[in-house]
Every structure is written in C-alpha cells, then in structure tokens.
Structure 1
C-alpha cells in the first residue's frame, strides 16, 4: 500500500509539472475569419475608417472582388496584427496585379499601404509586365515585393485559377507559402532586413518595414482580383 501511495504521489507530481510546463508554452490564438463571405464587415478603405467602402470592392460568389479601375483605395482590416498566421486564397485576372500587405500603418503622413507595409505579390506572372521587371524575379507572384523572389516559380497557378497562400510572421521571421510550398523566408528586422531594404526601391522610405504591428491590406492596383477563405490566428 505504501508503494502504491508513493507511486500515486509521484505520478501526481509529474502531472502537475507537465501541466505547468504546458501552461508556460506560448499558445496559438484561435482562427478568426476575416471575411464572412457576405459583407466587408471588419474592413475599411485605407485611412478612411468608418466611411463607406468604394463599390468597386464587391462580394462575388463568396469572394471579395475588386472590379478594376483606379481610385477605390486599398482595403484594410479594422484590426491590427503583430505575429500571425494568415491563410487566404486569391485569383488574379489576365495581366492583373495586386498584393497582400502587412503591418500597415495609417498615420496621415504615409501616402499608401505600401509606404509602411511589406507586400506578398499577387500577379499574373505570364502576362503582367511587372513579372519581368525588378531583379531576379522579385516581382513574381508570392515574392516579397522588390526584395526577395520565390524559390519555386512553378508554385503559382495561372490567371483565372485560385491560389492558396499563407503568410506567417513570428518572432522576427516571415514565411510565404503558395499552394502548399514555402517559397520565401526572411528576417523582418535587424541587419538582414536592413540590407534587403537598402537594395530595394524602399531604401529611402521613412516608415517602410518599421512597424511590428499593423493592418493587413488587399491592394487596389487597378486590376480585377478576387480573395476568399481569409482567416488569421495570432501567434
């Protein structure tokens, strides 16, 4: 009986230690839908919170659809995010261009979402001129725009087809995924990041990449684009 008692106490102590250790580990947040498939609730036009969103941003068969033409402005989340995992599907029109931008700051001194936020490129690689600009593919779909190219140019699906993208920002690192493949990885601050910025078009932009938390944005680049199945969890 004494042996059983000691064994029980030992097991209980082990369980308590395991529980305490589990409680100490960082917990991932719950998945949160950023789009309900029916409305633009939770979104606003960049620097126009509380105002009606342009009718060029519509809902089309369960997707956010930008119908094309300039002047609507980028769509941004009401909420700001720091470390997160984002899943999103996108479909671009022929010769189309758009982008998914993160850590966007809405201070009036910044003119656009991309003034502060790095961009995961959304593009028709086959026919948009920007696909052949930049350096070594750093304007291709899935790239860290103007900074790092995707490591697999075959990961993207052509215009008119849905692509599944994932963006992970955690502990000063970022990962871009496209259709199940990790295609870009980089530091979001420090010497590695500073070197990439210095070699890009953003080198003299005061606020670019300086914020560890901000809004997510879907870019109005004038071309038709669709986004759906958008969800996020904070890390």
Structure 2
C-alpha cells in the first residue's frame, strides 16, 4: 500500500495536466477555455519577417526585422493572456495587446536605462502605470507573465504577483491615463492583433495562452498603488512627451500644406 501511495504521489506531481509542461495547457486551463497560441515547433498562426526563430521550444528574436504578430484572430475585448519570457542583459521588448500604446513592458530592469523609471520597468503598462514593485527574476531566467483585462480594469502579473491593477475610469488614475494619452495611447481602444515587440534586443517567449473572459465572470480592481516615480524621472517624462507632441504638430502642419 505504501508503494502504491508513493507511486500515485509521483504521478500527481509529474502529470503534464497538473504540473503544466512548456507550451501546453493544463486540465484547468482547458476547462477555462484557454487557447495555446504557440506550440514550440512552428510559427503556425504567426506573421513575421524571418527575424524570429524557434530555439529550445521558445520564440527568439534573433535579428532586425519587426515584431512577431499572432494573426489568426484579434485579442478579445475581455481576455486573459498567460506567457513566459526572458531577456538577455540590457534587453528591452514588450507585448502589445490592444491598439495604440497598450504594452506590457519586458525589460532587464537593472541593465536597461528604462529601469530607472518604474513606469517603464518590466510588467508596467508602459509609460502609464508602474508596477507596485520589481518582481523580476535574474536576467537569463524565465519569468511568468499574465494580463487580465475586462471592461475598464487592467491587471498585470509577474511571477505570481499582481503588480498592476487599476480601473482606468477611476479619477485617482486620471494623471496616468492622461500621460499615456499625450504619448498617443488610448485606453478605450480595442481590437488589436497580439504583437511581440522587436526592440533590437534578444528576447524569448513561450507558453503563450489566451482565453476570452465571459460576461458573467467578474474582474474587480483592487487599485494597487504603483511604485513612486522619482522627481528627476518625472521631469524626463515631461520632456519626452512634450517632444512627442511637438513632432506630432509638425507632422500635422506638413500634411495641411
């Protein structure tokens, strides 16, 4: 009997449906309606320019050429995306999941210049909402990521920690929403193809799983407090966004000539 119990316990731990193998769905994820977007073997359903390759069951940005885009269907308005990612030293990338500037930032926080501003660190809603804290693993190790978005609620998870959680209609986040808007982002936008960014740096992704969140499933925001942005970084933000606005005006002026 003891041997039988030990064998049963071993099978329980090792079972792919429970443990969750790379590029696979667990039994629970299948029940929840998740779709596996990348099988670890080919680029079926994806579009690119040949600069992304498959390496050790992961997609790897190997050269210049643009983003890797899942083209089978657009991201649902209400959805959950689960994925794994890792970076090389000083690498920068991102996952774009809604139109305009909707980005889950991927970054080497310690090695890249964006790491000095919490609003542009890993797992932030880039240039909008900082994570509550840095939950990244050391460079070269796999991180787990998760995006949950329903209605006006946006949540970003990193390595099992919910680090971003806000309702963009809540007046307390008006300054954050306005900052992204000035950069060119619109948090009300919907209907984009999922895009893995080519930012000219090495980055790896795997185990990309997507599901549509049903109408009767509730997603409530805890409105987690983001990490504070230092005064010098706030000044840099303003200078950057003012430059963007100035270039935009110049472009519009040229079009109207």
Instruction: Give your verdict on TM over 0.5.
Output: yes
Does the 8 Å contact 1:63/1:227 carry over to 2? yes
Q: C-alpha distance in 2, partners of 1:83/1:121?
A: 20
Q: CA 1:41/1:188 → structure 2, altered by over 3 Å: closer, same or farther?
A: farther
Aligned to 1:177: 157
Pairing 1:140–2:121 present: yes
CA distance in 2, matches of 1:33, 1:39: 13
Mark the CA change 1:209 to 1:35 in structure 2 (over 3 Å): closer, same or farther.
same
Number of the residue aligned with 2:113: 129
Per-residue deviation at 1:101?
Answer: 1.1
Q: In the alignment, is residue 58 of structure 1 matched against residue 42 of structure 2?
A: no
Q: What's 2:204 paired with?
A: 226
RMSD, aligned α-carbons: 1.9
Judged with a 3 Å threshold, the aligned counterparts in structure 2 of structure 1 residues 194 and 73 are, in CA distance, closer, same or farther, namely farther
In structure 2, the partner of 1:111 is none
After TM superposition, list the pairs within 5 Å mapping 1:50-129 onto structure 2: 53-68=48-63, 70=64, 72-78=65-71, 79-81=73-75, 82-104=77-99, 116-129=100-113
Alpha-carbon offset, residue 186 of structure 1: 1.9
1:59–1:65: 8 Å Cα contact kept in structure 2? yes
Given candidates 28, 31, 36, the residue that maps to 1:33 is 36
2:43 and 2:69 map into 1 onto residues whose CA distance is 10
1:130-166 alpha-carbon deviations (Å, 9 max, x no partner): 111x4xx11111111111111121x111211100000
Question: CA-to-partner distance for each residue in 1:81-100, whole Å, 9 max, x for gaps?
Answer: 21111000000111000001
Q: d(CA) in 2 for partners of 1:188 and 1:198?
A: 10
5+ residue gaps, structure 1: 1-27, 45-52, 105-115
- Return the match for 1:166 from 146, 150, 159: 146
Q: If you compute each CA radius of gyration, which structure gives the higher value, 1 or 2? A: 1
Say if 2:198 is the partner of 1:214: no
The unaligned stretches of length 5 or more in structure 2 are 1-30, 214-257
Cα distance in 2 for partners of 1:152, 1:221 equals: 24
**Does the aligned pair in 2 maintain the 1:125–1:158 contact within 8 Å?**
no
CA contact (8 A) 1:29 1:234 kept: no
Post-superposition shift, 1:194?
Answer: 5.3
Aligned length: 181
* Contact kept in structure 2, 1:126 and 1:158, CA below 8 Å: no
Q: TM-score, normalised by structure 2?
A: 0.65
